[in-house]
Structure 1
Amino acid sequence: MKIDASLAAVVTGGASGLGLATVKALRAAGAKVAIFDRNPESGARAAEETGSVFCECDVLSDESVDAAFARARAAIGQERVLVCCAGGGNAIRTASRDKETGEIRIFPSDKFEWVLKLNTVGTFRCVTRSAAGMMTLEPVDGERGVMVNTASAAATDGQMGQAAYSAAKAAIVGMTLTIARDLSREGIRVNTIQPGIFHTPAMAGATPKMLEALGAMVPFPPRLGDASEYASLALEMIRNGYFNGETVRLDGAIRMQPR
C-alpha cells in the first residue's frame, strides 16, 4: 500500500515510544495520522509535534474506542492503516514466598486478567472496529487496508514474573494468521511485530548501567532497539503488498533468559 497524503492511519499508544515513532514515520511519508492514547497531555503534545490528530482513547472500553474512531474519521477520513502499540504489563510471579516471612503469595487473578484485557482484548477491540471501517472502502491496488499489531519477545521467551504479559502477547501472535485469513476476502492484510528490548519510556527508570547490561544481552547489535527501527518495519509491512499473516521478531537475535 502506498503511503502518501491520500492515506489515513490510526496508531494506538501513539503518544510515546514505539507508537510515537510510528506516527512520526507515517507523517514523514505524508500520511494523515490519528493518535489514540489515554493520556490527554502527552497525546495533545504528540499531535502538535507531529501535525496529527489526537483522540483520547482507552482500549479497555468499547465506548471509548468507538468514540475515538468516530472522531478520527471525522477529522482525517476512514483509515486504511491501523498500527496497535497500546499495551502494558506487570511483574508478578505465579506463586512466591516472602523472603522475610515465608508467606506464600499467588498472582491475583484480577491483575492477570487486566493484562490480557489491555493487550489482547484491547488490540482485538481496535482491530474489529478498524476492519469494519476498512470494509466500507473501495480497494486501491486490490487492497482495502493494512493492520500491524505489537506482540513481544515475551510471547515466546517470557521471563520470571511475566506470566500475564507473555500470555497476552502470545495471544496476539496466535490470532495474527487467523485474523489475516478472516479478512483476506476483504483485501485487508494483518501482521505482527514481536519486539525485543527497546529504548522506550518503559525504560525511563533504568540507570545507564542497567541499560548497558540489557544491551549487552543482545547478540548483535549489542544494544537496545531504537523505536525508529520498529517504525521502519511497520512501514515496510504496510507498503509490501505480499506481507500478510506474519509475525516478525525484531530483537537483534536475543533469546531472553529466565530473569
Structure 2
Amino acid sequence: MNADWTGLDQELQSWQDQGLTLPLWWRDDDAIEPTPHLDHLTELSEKLDLPVHLAVIPRDATQALANHLATSSQLIPVVHGWAHQNHAPQGEKKAEFGAHRPVEQAVADAGRGLETLRALLGEDVTPMFVPPWNRISDDVVQELAGMGYTSLSTFKPRTAAEAAPGLQQINTHLDPIHWKGSRSLVPPQQLVDQVTQQLISRRNGLADNIEPYGILTHHLVHDSAIWDFTEALLGRLLTGPATIWTHPQRTAP
C-alpha cells in the first residue's frame, strides 16, 4: 500500500493544534447473512473500537445474521432499501428508489424494509434509510419520516442538515473501492489526498463539519488491500481529532 501520508498527518495535527474535533462514523453495505468477510468486519470494528452501521438488505436478511448481530454491540443495523433491486432503465444509473417506478410502490418497499428488519432484529434496528446505490427520488424522501425513519444516508457531503422535515441527512464521504476499474482499492495516494482535502475544507469552514464524516465500505467484496487501507485510515483518524459518532436515536419516537 504505497501512499505518502505526510499531508494527512499534518492536517490532522492542524486540527489538534486548533482544538477541533472530527465526528466520525462508519457505514458498511449489503449484509444479509454471516460470512467470513462479515467476521473480518466485526473483528476490525472491535479492534478499532469503532461501531459499524451495517446496512442490511431486509428482503434477504436471515435469522443467522440476527444471531451474529446479537454477539457484538459494535454492529448497528440500519435499513438498506428493500431488495437491492435495480429499477432503472438500461443505460441509466442503477437505483431501487429512483424516479423510475411508481412512487407508491417505492414508498411501500421502504416501509416494509423497516417493518421487516424490526420483526427480525427488534429494537436493535436504527431507523436510518440507506437507499441502494445511494440514489433516491425526492418524492420518496418526503415520505420517510412518516414511516418512522429518522435519518437518510447517501454519499457525498450533504447540502442541508435535514433531507426533509424530521429526517436527518447523514452521508458518507469516502469509498475506497475502485468500482469502475479494478474493483480493488482506489489508488491509495488518491484516497489519502481526497481525505486531506475534505478535512481542509471542513477546517476552513467550507464544508459542514457538524455532519459526521463517513467512511463507506462493502465487506463482501473487500480484498486485503481494501481491508488494510481501511484499517490504516481509520486508525489515523481515531488517534487524531476524530470523535466517534453513532446514531443518537435507535428507535423512532
Q: What is the TM-score when the length of structure 2 is the normalising length? A: 0.37
Higher normalized contact order (CA 8 Å, seq sep 6+, divided by chain length): 2
